Structure 1
Amino acid sequence: MRTTQRRRSAPARGDLWRGWSAPSVRSAFTAAFAVVVVLVGLRLSVRDDSHAVSWLALPPLAASAFLPWRWVAGVGAASMALAFGYLWLLHDFSMDGVAVHGVDFLVVAVAVVIAAAVAVVRERDDDRLRRLAQLASVVQQAILRPIGERLGPFDIAARYVSARSGAEIGGDLYEALDTEYGVRIVIGDVRGKGLDAVRLSSTVLGSFRHVAFERADQRCMIADLDHAVARNGGDEDFVTAILLQERGGTLEILNCGHPPPMLVRDGVATYLEPESMAPPLGLGPSAQELTVRLQPGDRIFLYTDGLAEARKDGEFFPIRERAWSLIGHGNTGDGLASLETALRRWVGGPLTDDIALLLLDYRPEAD
């Protein structure tokens, strides 16, 4: 409850700046004021002073794109003051002068009002987007519950990398549980995107959290999960998934159409692939079990196809070649963070798909 209260109160402390830090606001305000000064200098350097004041409508309009409305009003007030001072310097109080420059002064005033209104609307939209992002984060945490740093004989880290900025919710899934049958882990990827994928992901995770404590045989778990997908998904829906079970230093792997896990041992990364791949959940899989005897210090890396299919100029990200340098040693959480950073640098732009990552470090001596 305390954690929830802290998370909810954090945005309230930043309401004054609407998501801006004070140095950022000062920098933006300084830039807008510099625009005012430059415009005035340019106009003063031109002999033709007709409609020079109307140029001062530009700074508040430009500021409305990135500053809070109060600061936009401040930029507008500076523009109005400079406009009045400029007219005073001209000393053109004839009927024609008053008519021409008066209209220009009115243009600046109208621009200030419009800029402030635009900033208010933009801030409301920003607040709405922030709240939606917070809601998506809450839903994501409800579906993908946090995994502790230690589970059975494993140091473990999980990471969800969203392809869309501010939206951390999708069809990728993972879970790790310590049961009487050993540590059981699932990672999967729902076909498709959007709310339907999220609902099916939630169904698979809910079923796994139940049957992981009820079924002694992983093959029975596969059958239960397959039935859950078939009942709750559409005719063309399926879920690629891997189930792992560790008992007494032996890792048992069932792969249902998912990218193979990777074993990192003594500086070498190898894929743990069965002789034949089973269909995904929802398509009646009959998975062949792969057994691996673990050694202390072994790392098991699990991921979804968003990582396997990430590419730059048609070239796939070299997961295997860089596995040891990125995730083969050190803290597991830091390793996944380094992997994400390297991936984003490699792609050089937005990701095309969400990615779920799990890194297991086998350290039975810590028990």
Structure 2
Amino acid sequence: MDGARCAEQSGDMHRREPLGGAEFAPETTYLNSASSGLLPRRSADALRAALAESASYGTMGRDYFAAATASRAAFARLLDVPAERVALGSSVTVQSAFVAATLPEGAEVLAPEGDFSSLVNPFAAHPGIKLRTVPLEALADAVRPGTALVAFSAVQSLDGRIADMAAVREAARAHGARTYLDITQAAGWLPLPAADFDFVVAGAFKWLLCPRGTTFMAFGGDFGRGAEWPAALHAGWVAGEDIGASNYGLIQPAATARRFDEPYAHFSYVGAEQSLGLLEELGVETVHAHNTALADHYRAGLAERGLTPRPAPGSAIVSTPGIADAEDRAAAAGVRISVRGGLLRAAFHLYNSTDDVDRLLALLG
């Protein structure tokens, strides 16, 4: 169901009903997708079936590779990148540590101040890397000769600000720097130019509605297309070109980005296959229109109450100072939001409605 149809069914072009139909029936008013997403019914059903199967076939199931392969392909379609350029992992932190290890001794990494720790801390902790941070708005202008990598989130977790991805990409290209884009707070609702960046990572348990333990890394740029792939530093048996011959001893890494796969958290990817399928059916553009309309409705309600959120135009995340004490009141009323950095953070996704927004606004007084 697209955004126009859901508005028509509500009888008011300014009101929106949830997308996804019977896939979601939460007991709470859930406005906390920036922390973690709700699991669709189809994903929960697939997980229950996989758990039952494991009692007879082990925790790798009858086909350990099927769900992982399907999830890789679905994520690639969502981002419009080739599946052979997508690797599967477990966390953004591990992927950041991998990217850090691809850089030469003394490399400068440029990142926004206050970006999410899973993205930036592995660079700060890596010996020989010089991490430099600047305000998000100054990121493109701060790229300079000698900058080896620009690492940043497409959408800031704290307050929902959307980076000027095109400007950063062009500045990095002009100075010969590579780019590492974290789309954990963007993938699933914000249309993204993923192929324009060298490394693109997504923790999929938020807006992509997957179980925890599901992470994707897409490789853009010239990797495997003239430039050699980075060293497969954590390659195990699933990363081998011939998986059947990769259980023991040294392996030959796969010719594709699968060379960077971590062993799959099987149940997580069983759920991911179904969740990503739902997002494909709905379409990111439809979800984007829905989410941002709800966020704009919330901003208008805040303004009527004399409240001013942090500026984050076009974002599905709205963070507001001065009302952090509303979190407990909201939780008692069954409304799930979060507080980050003293800001009350609300995040609007496909399973939310205008009524959900109004419920939160009423609790703010």
Name the TM tier (shorter chain): under 0.3
Identify the structure with bigger relative contact order (alpha carbons < 8 Å, sequence gap 6+).
2
Higher relative helix content: 1
* Larger Rg, first or second structure (1 or 2): 1
Using structure 1 for the length normalisation, give the TM-score: 0.23
